[in-house]
Structure 1
Amino acid sequence: MTTAPSIPTAANALTGKRRVAFASFVDENYLPGFLTLLRSLALSNPSVCEDFLVLHDGLRTDSIARIRALHPRVSFRQVDAAHYDGYAKGDQDNYLVRKAYFILDVFRVRDYDTVITLDTDMVVLGDLGELLELRDGLAAVPQFFYGQHKLNSGLLVIQRDYLSDAFCAKLDEVGRKGSYELDKHDQGILNAVLDGGFLHLDARYNFVKRRLSGDLPVPDDTAILHFTGRHKPWQGGEAGYGQAEDRWHAYELSEAEFHDAYLSLPGAKHHDLLVHYGTPHVRRTGDVETARRVASAHIGAGEYQEAVDLLGGIRIPVDEGWAHEVLGHALMSVSRYGEARTELMLATAAPNRAATSFGRLAQIAWIHGDDTAAAEYALDGLGVDPTHRANRLMYRRTTSAKQAAEGAPAEQLAHVAFYMEQQGNAGDKLLPESVRLAFDRDTGPARWHSVHAHRLFDEAALERVNARRGLVIGGGGLFIPDTAPNGNSGWQWNVPDALLERIDVPVMVYAVGFNAFDGQAYGRSRDRFLSSLRKLVERSAFFGLRNHGSIEKVRDLLPAGLRDKVRFQPCPTTVTRQTTAGWTDPAERENTVLVNAAYDRAGLRFGHDYGHFLGEMATAVKGLGAHAEVKCVAHSLDDERIAFDLRREHGISLPVIPMYDFDNDAIRNTYARTKLVIGMRGHAGMIPFGCGTPIISLISHPKMAYFLADIERPEWGISVHDRHLGARLVERAAGMLSDHAAAVADVHGRQQELWKVTEANAADLRVILGGRTV
């Protein structure tokens, strides 16, 4: 591992997460149909918002604007119209015939894994979830008049295997030869090429108008109604289909009517749609409840300043407690703490928001180092709701036994970290101690001054740090915008630039990770993050990131003159056997396989594939049971969900190990004694690896692939989206278990390479610290 491994830049190339898009060919004549299609899609599937590819051969500027107003994620792609001039056609001069072939350009799409095409004379009436979950083949509804052999091309669910040059060549060959039903245009070509080889969907996903001849009612289970034929609803329609056309006209709405209709729908709504439709609605009406919902969506996506701007721009009545609480949450997330306190105090008057509001007031007090006030606010919150977990944890945090007396400042290093407490993430709990072990065997207060990353770094904190010999920042994925949001840095350490610049002891950034998920962005806090990051790199005597993927991401954000300061420092949990005093490998291991699954930001992890993942894990657990006892290891409370879901959906029961309640020694011992760990969290891979235990990573985050690339074992990872996840897990696990000694030896060998890097960096750190570590 002397050179940096090659890291793919696209996050979904690492996680295997499917990119899904809808697509339609649109021209000016069919624009009214397409606009109605977009409205119907949103109103029938309010929690779905995938990219929408608008294929076209030229659209007016005002038409593009109307489309953008209806969908937040449209991508306009001009077709290669001339490409289809060489196709044999039934009527070369008819413009409709010519344009009928342009939808075939969808097969030239290369940046999506699944594309769902919709004709512009369709209206969506029901849930399309089943289509979004499809992962294989090319799916369509068989034609109404021609039995099961031929498809209707109005709706196609196309997987990547068909989005290829090879399949396009087949289409071109048939099109140019004319060896298809010429009067069926694109549909004729597809049927000639596929010859019945497509996945059959139920008729309700492409329910053609002709089935309703005689003015029959539309069946209740119809998901997509297709107005095939010459007569379209926006052109006056056709006699004998009145009830069908009424369903289409129900979606022919003005902008205000459409926004009102979407916002009044019950149930979950997609963040992008809620923001896209709710924001203009709030500007037009000043509606407080809609503003509260849209601001909550912004907060959920880490868009804190956007939430402040929206809610702060309207008048909120005093008695609207929920809106005040959300605005208070947004304000504290951008470090406008005084304003946040005012809003949260107003919210405490509302019985249903009081506990949460007191909890946020307690958090603000704790951030400012006032444990007494934090405990009082938490107690007030518990008085409203004795079951409120955040208040209970804050009260314990601020009233528990105080830290032991520290040693002399001149003999200490200050350490900025995320110090996890009761029932917190096991990996985060172990990290601070692991970082300290990489510097010195004494990890206690005699040698270390703790600085919680999430507390405001103020003048008093600066004075305490500058009294120490140096400042260590790490480890963990601190470069992430939403775990502990603040407006001072844009990442987890709540440090203003002015105070960061005044630190006058050596600053050592040690094994920090860039932890953004596939699909996660910094929003308007990006500039604040970039400024803080650059100042941190400038100020650092040592700047080590825990994987080369993070190094690549951070270097891309830095000016050229700072990029070379970024170096590789493996996470110290990966070399636990080397740093832990008195470590001995277990003489015998329990015949167990520990499985960990993570559920934070589940939408970013799984997309539309959670049902697939759970089914494949059921297959894996059954198969692994023939080799060892399988247990669920929960780093946090939420991780237990896989045990609940497997039992409910597949009748499989897994014992649960509540690692969130373990101390650090118990965490290490548990991982050292098992034979194999299959983990989705980064530290459900790195910690057992550091303990010498073989691992297989369930990749739902780029950092998992980054680590495996660093140790040159990418085959130890399988995407949670893998089509054959269950079988592959069993196969790889069985291989490791059958020759377990060799698997352990491989882990030890890989670990030794990381230890060499760690030792080399330690030599540089000793120079920085004047020849000593602590």
Structure 2
Amino acid sequence: MNATQTTATVPAAARPAAAAPDEGSARALTGKRRIAFASFVDENYLPGFLVLLRSLALSNPDVCEDFIVLHDDLRPSSVARIRALHPRVTFRRVDADHYDSYKKGDQDNYLVRKAYFILDVFRIRDYDTVITLDTDMVVLGPITELLAMREGLAAVPQFFYGDKTRMLNSGLLVIQKEYLTDQFCAKLDEIGRSGSYELDKHDQGILNALLDGDFVDLDPKYNFVKRRLSGDLPVPDDTAILHFTGRHKPWQGGEAGYEQAQERWREFDVDDAELHASYLSRPGTLHQDLLVHFGTPHVERTGDVDIARRVALAHIGSGDYQAAVDIMERVHIPVDEAWPHEVYGHALMSVSRYEEARVQLLLATSAPNRAATAFSRLAQIAWVHGDDTTARTYAMAGLGVDPTHRASRIWQQRTIDGVPAQQKGGPEDQLAHVAFYMDRQGNAGDKLLPESVRLAFDPDTTSRRWHSVHAHRLFDEAALERVNARRGLVIGGGGLFIPDTMPNGNSAWQWNVRDELLERIDVPIAVYAVGFNAFDGQSYRADRFRTSLRKLVERAAFFGLRNHGSIEKVRAMLPAHLHDKVRFQPCPTTVTRQLVEGWQDPARRDDTILINAAYDRAGLRFGHDYAYFLAQMAKAVKDLGDLGEVQCVAHSLDDEKIAFDLRREHGISLPVIPMYDFENDEIRDLYARTRLVIGMRGHAGMIPFGCGTPIISLISHPKMAYFLRDIERPEWGVSVHDRDLAAVLVERSRDLLADHDRTVADVHGRQQELWKVTEANAAELRTILGG
């Protein structure tokens, strides 16, 4: 049977509603599922559990979820051995006395007493899915199907020859959040204390008495019990999890008649060094957390340069650039090993050790397969330092090696486009403006942002009134002199508080400025509509950001963040006396109708529904749910077609992926609008003329909203929920992880479109509230900045 097949619905008494997460948590905002494995472990079963952990890593090298170890007492040395095998393990002590009130078949047998302790898994409240594994199991094959399950309580039916009763084997359970409740635990307690279950089946007996056969069937391969192999039969090739049920355990010598099964267990009874080497040699994708966890001690033990490179890349991927530098500094890189030099150079430039990075990258250019990337990074370093000529030379060298190399093409183009032309007006007439000035074919939302910020200060957005300072270029003495010659400095907008778009070690956020130069800015500073853009699961790894942030808040005459969620995050990083300086300033794109001179709402709208999906940091957005999301969007697109013509609007090139995937996986074709090629007026015009925008990017919601168009946000990032919370319309959002995504999306679209004029009027009313805040702040800013 398929893992998603279900039996009759579990009775409501046995399946109470799940507890809601805290409103302010990332989980509540994005709906992203948190998944954990769980086992009860004691000293007697520790050898089995260690093998289980090794087998999980080696058989599923791309899987690394939290692992909850339930225990009643483990020695510190045992805890250390467990931690060495898993980077995301947590320990929770079982309330052993709680289960002494249960009626049992052999009350004085300590093994019987502990058999009930796994029921503590139902007291876990901070996960959406928990997968229990008995410690006498060994994982032999992929189990990713279990991670994708979203409903019910799933298990393999128990297996006994000649037994036709429908009961589950509790060795492996896939438990969804509606079972992780106080009500369900109370039912377990009631049955346990009454003894109204098969006493000799312990925890399994209680669960079967409560569920009465109503559980989701899993394929037997996920809990393949040893008794199926009686007579020393070989383990079937498709077995995912082998379960050594019965009294005789492999670490105790095993049992006659099961030698082939026990040999499979012994494959994973290895020491740490063997585990590390075996894991690191696995083909395919390795999970970054496990790669770091096993690769770091392996590098320390062996000095393996290639593994150091791979660990460094994993650190870079998670935004821990200093850790990437640290691991590369531990090994000797031969001169002719280009790839490690390139990765080391990448790590060094990410912490602003530019001269050292340049040396490493020049060494990397010697190998044809790494030269284009190395040259593009050298071009980036030169561009960061304001040397467009050298940057162009390196970019052209990269294109000479590989004419299709995208990064080299970007840097070559950026040295042509540069920052908008300067000096049409005198310095005394200008405000300096630190922003991310997007490249041609870059993200459409980021392209529109600098102009939108400027409109909030002055209808003239040209260089007559503005001096452009690219946030990603090193803010040096010359830049400081130019800024101090202006009448003020505006920083924003956009999600500049993010660690990884263009990392640097000077500030650890997007403006590449050292503290000492920030302190020497002697004109008024206004931080305007900046967002805290860290994803759910992403964090700043060092104190550098906190220190830089504090100095910026102290120095700023105005410090406005674009949503209250960002305000909460930033205040949490500041001392209490600075909290009141952090205030609300909506993103100016959300009040576009008020800012654009001569704005006219469209006399008629196209009968279209625009869909946008984002794919940067896809793992953080979708987790294990991308296939589910795509299938739900396929259903939604079909039904939305009854409400209007559905089109894909791509803010960046990568956003076209949803159209490709829907066609390939579900046979659905969508027209694609390449908004990344649009000018700002074209962006605004398109969004003003459509009837509804369903967007996953922040500015696929904020820009159309600012143009007066109804929106629904596909929430995969907290900032989407922050904005909807600020405008008091959380119902205009739906999580990409929602169990009923397609149905909810279509229902809400239908509601918004049913009386479109009323919905548009509601958008205008919500926008007016943001405009009041913007106007009040503008009056204060005129006093601060003049003009």
TM-score over 0.5 for the alignment?
yes
Q: For the residues of structure 1 that align with 2:193 and 2:699, how far apart are their CA atoms?
A: 56
Residue of structure 1 aligned with 2:465, choices 436, 444, 447: 447
Residue of structure 2 aligned with 1:288, choices 301, 305, 323: 305
**Secondary structure at 2:347 match in 1:** helix
**Secondary structure at 1:85 match in 2:** helix
2:271 matches 1:258: no
1:177-219 deviation per Cα after TM superposition (whole angstroms, max 9, x unaligned): 1000000000000000000010000000000000000111100
Instruction: Report the equivalent of 1:16.
Output: 31
Q: For the residues of structure 2 that align with 1:425 and 1:79, how far apart are their CA atoms?
A: 50
**Secondary structure at 1:43 match in 2:** helix
Gaps of 5+ in 2: 1-20
Contact 2:22 2:28 in 1 (8 A): no
2:512 matches 1:531: no
Instruction: Report the equivalent of 2:514.
Output: 496
Instruction: Report the equivalent of 1:658.
Output: 674
In structure 1, give the amino acid aligned to 2:393: E
1:11-59 deviation per Cα after TM superposition (whole angstroms, max 9, x unaligned): 1110000110000000000000000000000001111110000000000
Q: For the residues of structure 1 that align with 2:311 and 2:455, how far apart are their CA atoms?
A: 45
Instruction: Report the equivalent of 2:11.
Output: none
For residues 303-342 of structure 1, the aligned pairs below 5 Å read 303-342=320-359
How far 1:735 sits from its partner (Å)? 1.2
2:563 matches 1:563: no
Instruction: Report the equivalent of 1:625.
Output: 641
For residues 335-354 of structure 1, the aligned pairs below 5 Å read 335-354=352-371
Q: For the residues of structure 2 that align with 1:399 and 1:534, how far apart are their CA atoms?
A: 36
In structure 1, give the amino acid aligned to 2:720: M
2:234 matches 1:217: yes
Contact 1:334 1:486 in 2 (8 A): yes
1:606-663 deviation per Cα after TM superposition (whole angstroms, max 9, x unaligned): 1111111111111110110011000000101111010011111111000000111111
In structure 2, give the amino acid aligned to 1:99: K
Contact 1:406 1:449 in 2 (8 A): no
Instruction: Report the equivalent of 1:553.
Output: 569
1:566-619 deviation per Cα after TM superposition (whole angstroms, max 9, x unaligned): 000000000000000111000000000000000101110011111111111111
Instruction: Report the equivalent of 1:3.
Output: none
How far 1:307 sits from its partner (Å)? 0.2
Contact 1:7 1:709 in 2 (8 A): no
1:455-475 deviation per Cα after TM superposition (whole angstroms, max 9, x unaligned): 000000000000000000000
2:70 matches 1:52: no
How far 1:148 sits from its partner (Å)? 5.8
For residues 380-399 of structure 1, the aligned pairs below 5 Å read 380-399=397-416
In structure 2, give the amino acid aligned to 1:12: R
**Secondary structure at 2:543 match in 1:** helix
1:495-550 deviation per Cα after TM superposition (whole angstroms, max 9, x unaligned): 00000000000000000000000000112xx3100010000000000000000000
2:217 matches 1:233: no
Residue of structure 2 aligned with 1:30, choices 37, 40, 45: 45
In structure 2, give the amino acid aligned to 1:682: G
Residue of structure 2 aligned with 1:135, choices 142, 145, 150: 150
Contact 2:29 2:718 in 1 (8 A): yes
Gaps of 5+ in 1: 1-5
**Secondary structure at 1:267 match in 2:** coil
Cα distance 1:148–1:363, how it changes in 2: closer, same or farther (>3 A)? farther
Q: For the residues of structure 2 that align with 1:194 and 1:8, how far apart are their CA atoms?
A: 31
**Secondary structure at 1:70 match in 2:** coil
Contact 2:571 2:582 in 1 (8 A): yes
1:214-233 deviation per Cα after TM superposition (whole angstroms, max 9, x unaligned): 11110010000000000000
Instruction: Report the equivalent of 2:8.
Output: none
Q: For the residues of structure 1 that align with 2:263 and 2:676, how far apart are their CA atoms?
A: 56
Q: For the residues of structure 1 that align with 2:270 and 2:241, how far apart are their CA atoms?
A: 18
Q: For the residues of structure 1 that align with 2:441 and 2:124, how far apart are their CA atoms?
A: 46
Q: For the residues of structure 2 that align with 1:179 and 1:304, how far apart are their CA atoms?
A: 57
**Secondary structure at 1:387 match in 2:** coil
For residues 138-537 of structure 1, the aligned pairs below 5 Å read 138-145=153-160, 146-147=163-164, 149-400=166-417, 403=421, 405-523=423-541, 526-537=542-553
Residue of structure 1 aligned with 2:88, choices 67, 73, 78: 73
**Scaled by the length of structure 2, what TM-score is found?**
0.96
Q: Which runs of 4+ in 1 moved over 2 A?
A: 6-9, 399-406
In structure 2, give the amino acid aligned to 1:94: N
Q: For the residues of structure 2 that align with 1:262 and 1:148, how far apart are their CA atoms?
A: 41
How far 1:674 sits from its partner (Å)? 0.3
Q: For the residues of structure 1 that align with 2:227 and 2:417, how far apart are their CA atoms?
A: 73
How many aligned positions are there? 764
1:234-270 deviation per Cα after TM superposition (whole angstroms, max 9, x unaligned): 0000011011000000000011000000000011111
**Secondary structure at 2:636 match in 1:** helix
1:423-470 deviation per Cα after TM superposition (whole angstroms, max 9, x unaligned): 100000000000000001000000000000000000000000000000
How far 1:769 sits from its partner (Å)? 1.9
2:700 matches 1:684: yes
1:288-332 deviation per Cα after TM superposition (whole angstroms, max 9, x unaligned): 000000000000110100000000121100011000000000000
Q: For the residues of structure 2 that align with 1:531 and 1:692, how far apart are their CA atoms?
A: 39
1:82-136 deviation per Cα after TM superposition (whole angstroms, max 9, x unaligned): 0000100000111110000000000000111100000000000011110000000
2:132 matches 1:117: yes
Q: For the residues of structure 2 that align with 1:489 and 1:736, how far apart are their CA atoms?
A: 43
Residue of structure 2 aligned with 1:84, choices 99, 112, 127: 99
How far 1:9 sits from its partner (Å)? 2.8
Contact 2:422 2:467 in 1 (8 A): no
How far 1:390 sits from its partner (Å)? 1.1
Q: For the residues of structure 2 that align with 1:556 and 1:118, how far apart are their CA atoms?
A: 38
Instruction: Report the equivalent of 1:641.
Output: 657
For residues 591-740 of structure 1, the aligned pairs below 5 Å read 591-740=607-756
How far 1:399 sits from its partner (Å)? 2.6
Contact 1:406 1:448 in 2 (8 A): no
Instruction: Report the equivalent of 1:100.
Output: 115
**Secondary structure at 1:598 match in 2:** coil
Instruction: Report the equivalent of 2:4.
Output: none
**Secondary structure at 2:734 match in 1:** strand
